[in-house]
Amino acid sequence: MLDIITLPDRKLRVASEPVERVDDEVRRFLDNMLETMYDAPGIGLAAIQVGVERRMVVCDVAKREDEDAEPEPLFLINPEVLSVSDDRVVREEGCLSIPEYFADVERPDGVRVGYLDRDGNQQEIEATGVLATCLQHEIDHLNGKLFIDYLSKLRRDMVIRKFTKQARQATSATA
């Protein structure tokens, strides 16, 4: 299992680099990301959340509603938003890197995303609903962007302050 980094870790603000070659090492890493995501549990995970500055994402929204549902993992390498729908929706979001904080975010309801699959083949997916939200949230991570960036500066600063304080207390407790 991989360690998930949390606010205020500066790495979460880094823009990730493209993956140059889809090889066994990449596939092994994607498998580890998926296990880490299921274990968390979460519906998506970007490589930067485990400290790796490469454009890779895993997600699976199938188990969100139904614990017993068959897993439907998606592996996306170098994903790019190709187009978004005009209609927008507000959905409550959370992030494994901002534990136990949730807020409403407005985004396009639908997206078309191009990416390389785990065999290195170019693919396209058209998504709506939770999957569309998840894909946009993950691609934001690859650009150093977090869902709290869509909130007012006041709320964003409150969240960052809370996590900065928590981290400081955790450090002083072990010192």
Binding site for Ni ion (CB under 5 A): 95
Which residue's C-beta sits nearest to ligand GNR? 42
At 18 the three-state DSSP class reads coil
| CB of 54 closer than 8 Å to CB of 19 | yes
* Tokens 């409150």 found at: 158
Catalytic residue (one of 35, 92, 93, 138): 138
At 50 the three-state DSSP class reads helix
Catalytic: 138? yes
User: H or E element: which one contains 39?
Assistant: helix 24-39
Question: From the list Ni ion, ligand GNR, none, which binds 107 (C-beta under 5 to 8 Å, kind-based)?
Answer: none
Among 7, 12, 46, 135, binds ligand GNR (CB under 6 A): 46
Among 12, 22, 26, 45, binds ligand GNR (CB under 6 A): 45
93 binds ligand GNR (CB under 6 A): yes
The single-letter code of the amino acid at 5 is I
Question: From the list Ni ion, ligand GNR, none, which binds 12 (C-beta under 5 to 8 Å, kind-based)?
Answer: none
The single-letter code of the amino acid at 152 is S
What positions carry a catalytic annotation?
138
